[in-house]
Structure 1
């Protein structure tokens, strides 16, 4: 069965979501959002990213600043081969990055197919705040970054270059399959190649924001862009309804405008978990039996600070930080 990245496994954690009534874990209060900020992100290792975001949220800062700061942790982590520095390259050996950021008022910015810039999320925010546009791509995005004082850096680490050279021995273009080298490199349960980071936050004033960043599929076709930098696919935030972000096979998320779909279910009054589940079911309806060979996961937060997630396959985890502390959850799944 396909999983885009080898999924993390944790022990003694609850299944999913809004957990106040679950005696297996320490209570996280998400019912009263007044003066109660919260941050949630895809994948267990991103407890570190949440902690960085919490430095801002815990001091009364804005959700937009928090998510921008939080996702920079995996962006600059060379051990994370699916986001930013150290990300696995495309099939031509180039590391290309995608990112977007959005607040609840509809302000948003994105970059895609960006090379040689350590923190694409910073450039995405500059697009949002300094241009009349929403998205910049490729050479144009790089020129914009350089014009704003950012420097070009080599993002291909020796470890990722080694993995790429191993792949070249067969050069099988199958980016939706985990490179075997990744499975051999890490101890069971310790792999950090966990896919895109999507992060959602609510600040003490109830302001919502989100960010999403990735280096995309390993050994993808040159120029391939997934869902991560596409507003409405990889990320969507609306102060009247809630926020959602995604991870997994981006093509499937784009086909259903996944994160926007989740938020529309939130608008109708569905819980975050159920909104994510109904969106996953749309993928299954469209893809039929082939959905068994895919993985997509969503996380969501409504305007009350309630959160949840759902995935196609088992193994999807997400991390949450509130005043009560930090926790990792296993999401429920269709299969």
Structure 2
């Protein structure tokens, strides 16, 4: 294999060092002007998901295939109680999943309130590639999965069922107790996975998948399956995804907002910061202090960044320089 000369570009925010800095420029260009791949995802534990996506990218695969394969890792992990199999149920004990996927050509697919299928992201891609629609919900999404050879299974694990029954003892059947305790829960775990990738052809794609807010009201849908809220990709500009209390991300069309700031010249980190500032303005600081919201973003150059509302948020990054976990700065 002939040797290639790589030029690595890196930049730090003036207020931090690399591991505490959300603005990591991960662009690399080889001698043939190919872009070296980059993948980022929400939360430190998702380095495992990044590793799966990275294997697709380094073999020359597309960003779309990379994010698809990457987020399937936590979807199949019973110990991840915020995504897929083992996800915490709604207040009636039903595990319902939301997911969406978007490629570099504005192709999109989404599923909401999907039961009995572990890999919601695969069903979202089926919506994108095998139907004339962009969103399917509930029974319709399940039927599409079954018609394409996917199997029904029980997604409620023993551990998640136990946690739900403990919640019932003191919750008075109110999902508001989940909102009030979300920050405490995230300190010991994480919430949802959003993933963005840039492939060697310079194309971006993204995926987002979740079991949603624990103990939510039946039928609740957050930001994760909504294009423009939980995820948005514009191949001319960049991509963004979100995590946290989905109702608040939807309120400001969060991921689309981040991408639009990048369109106007903001770095990925600063674009995420501006979206957080917009949320604080919309909700007021007192309310915002009770919430957890995090954004991650990547532009066409492979530069990445993140920002959060109230802390306790990390971004996992994998590029030619290796793997790192970045603590996102916060405004509150």
Q: What TM-score do you get using the length of structure 2 for normalisation?
A: 0.90
Q: Does 1:234 align with 2:239?
A: no
Aligned-partner Cα distance in 2 for 1:104–1:58: 18
The aligned residue for residue 49 of structure 2 is: 49
Maintained 8 Å contact 1:175/1:218? yes
The aligned residue for residue 18 of structure 1 is: 23
Residue 177 of structure 1: CA displacement?
3.4
Aligned-partner Cα distance in 1 for 2:95–2:184: 18
Aligned-partner Cα distance in 2 for 1:212–1:179: 19
Q: Does 1:113 align with 2:109?
A: no
Q: Does 1:201 align with 2:197?
A: yes
Aligned-partner Cα distance in 1 for 2:139–2:59: 38
Aligned-partner Cα distance in 2 for 1:176–1:30: 38
The aligned residue for residue 122 of structure 1 is: 122
Residue 176 of structure 1: CA displacement?
1.0
Q: Does 1:300 align with 2:297?
A: yes
Q: Does 1:245 align with 2:241?
A: yes
Q: Secondary structure at the match of 2:20?
A: coil
Aligned-partner Cα distance in 2 for 1:166–1:42: 28
Maintained 8 Å contact 1:39/1:50? yes
Residue 324 of structure 1: CA displacement?
1.2
Deviations 1:118-162 (CA, angstroms, capped at 9, x unpaired)? 100000000000011100001111111111111100000000000
Aligned-partner Cα distance in 1 for 2:314–2:124: 26
Maintained 8 Å contact 1:98/1:113? yes
Q: Secondary structure at the match of 1:226?
A: coil
| Closer/same/farther in 2, CA of residues 159 and 179 from structure 1, 3 Å limit | farther
| Closer/same/farther in 2, CA of residues 258 and 180 from structure 1, 3 Å limit | closer
The aligned residue for residue 59 of structure 1 is: 59
Residue 179 of structure 1: CA displacement?
7.4
Aligned-partner Cα distance in 2 for 1:156–1:180: 23
Maintained 8 Å contact 1:31/1:306? no
Aligned-partner Cα distance in 1 for 2:204–2:128: 16
Maintained 8 Å contact 2:183/2:291? no
Tell me, which stretches of 5 or more residues in structure 1 are unaligned?
Answer: 1-11, 21-28, 184-188
2:216 to 212, 215, 220: 220
Deviations 1:182-238 (CA, angstroms, capped at 9, x unpaired)? 69xxxxx8x4x3001000000000010000000011100000000000000000001
Deviations 1:36-58 (CA, angstroms, capped at 9, x unpaired)? 10000000000000000001001
1:176 to 176, 179, 189: 179
Q: Secondary structure at the match of 1:228?
A: coil
Maintained 8 Å contact 1:13/1:330? no
The aligned residue for residue 9 of structure 2 is: none
Tell me, which stretches of 5 or more residues in structure 2 are unaligned?
Answer: 1-16
Deviations 1:56-86 (CA, angstroms, capped at 9, x unpaired)? 0011110000000000000000000011100
Matched pairs, number: 309
Residue 31 of structure 1: CA displacement?
5.3
Deviations 1:256-284 (CA, angstroms, capped at 9, x unpaired)? 10000000111111000000000011100
Deviations 1:281-310 (CA, angstroms, capped at 9, x unpaired)? 110001002111111000000010000000
Choose between structure 1 and 2 for higher RCO, CA contacts under 8 A separated by at least 6 residues. 1
Q: What TM-score do you get using the length of structure 1 for normalisation?
A: 0.89
Aligned-partner Cα distance in 1 for 2:22–2:210: 24
Q: Does 1:259 align with 2:255?
A: yes
Aligned-partner Cα distance in 1 for 2:271–2:36: 23
Residue 171 of structure 1: CA displacement?
3.0
Of residues 48-57 and 143-152 in structure 1, the stretch that sits farther from structure 2 once superposed is 143-152
The aligned residue for residue 211 of structure 1 is: 207
Q: Secondary structure at the match of 2:152?
A: coil
Residue 13 of structure 1: CA displacement?
6.7
